[in-house]
């Protein structure tokens, strides 16, 4: 996984980078992440001041999330929470499609319909 961090009006720190990497590794256990682009912004005149947006490049549809809060850690946790919700939704959607597909193509339907060769 390639991690791209961009800081706007905020200085980077090793502990923040390590925290982001840790969260992304946990997410990476359930979804392959090819690239993660994270923007950390401190808005000087806004309340709440911290805004974090994440774009995860994955096989299939990419995952996007963003959150704002009064502390950097809280904004990060909200963003990670949104990513997890979106991944769970993606899985549920896929499972539903697979279930409909297997029901539609079940071999018992052809035998019950009386089709003969």
Domain borders along the chain are 2-105
CATH class of the domain at 2-105? alpha beta
N-term to C-term CA, the chain: 53
- Given this model, what pLDDT does residue 106 score? 56
46-92 pLDDT, tens per residue?
Answer: 899 999 999 999 988 899 999 999 999 999 999 999 999 999 988 88
CB 4 within 8 A of CB 37: yes
pLDDT at 114 over 60: no
The pTM of this model reads 0.78
**How far apart are the C-alpha atoms of 19 and 63, rounded to whole Å?**
19
- Given this model, what pLDDT does residue 104 score? 64
11-21 pLDDT, tens per residue?
Answer: 989 999 999 99
């Amino acid at each position: 996984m390639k991690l791209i961090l961009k800081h706007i009006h905020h200085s980077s720190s090793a502990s923040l980078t390590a925290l982001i990497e840790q969260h992304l590794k946990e997410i990476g256990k359930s979804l392959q992440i090819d690239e993660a682009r994270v923007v950390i912004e401190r808005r000087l005149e806004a309340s709440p001041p911290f805004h974090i947006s994440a774009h995860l490049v994955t096989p299939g549809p990419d995952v996007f999330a963003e959150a704002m809060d009064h502390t950097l850690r809280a904004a990060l946790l909200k963003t990670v929470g949104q990513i997890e919700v979106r991944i769970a939704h993606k899985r549920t959607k896929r499972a539903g499609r697979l279930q409909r597909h297997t029901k539609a193509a079940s071999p018992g339907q052809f035998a019950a319909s009386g089709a003969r060769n």
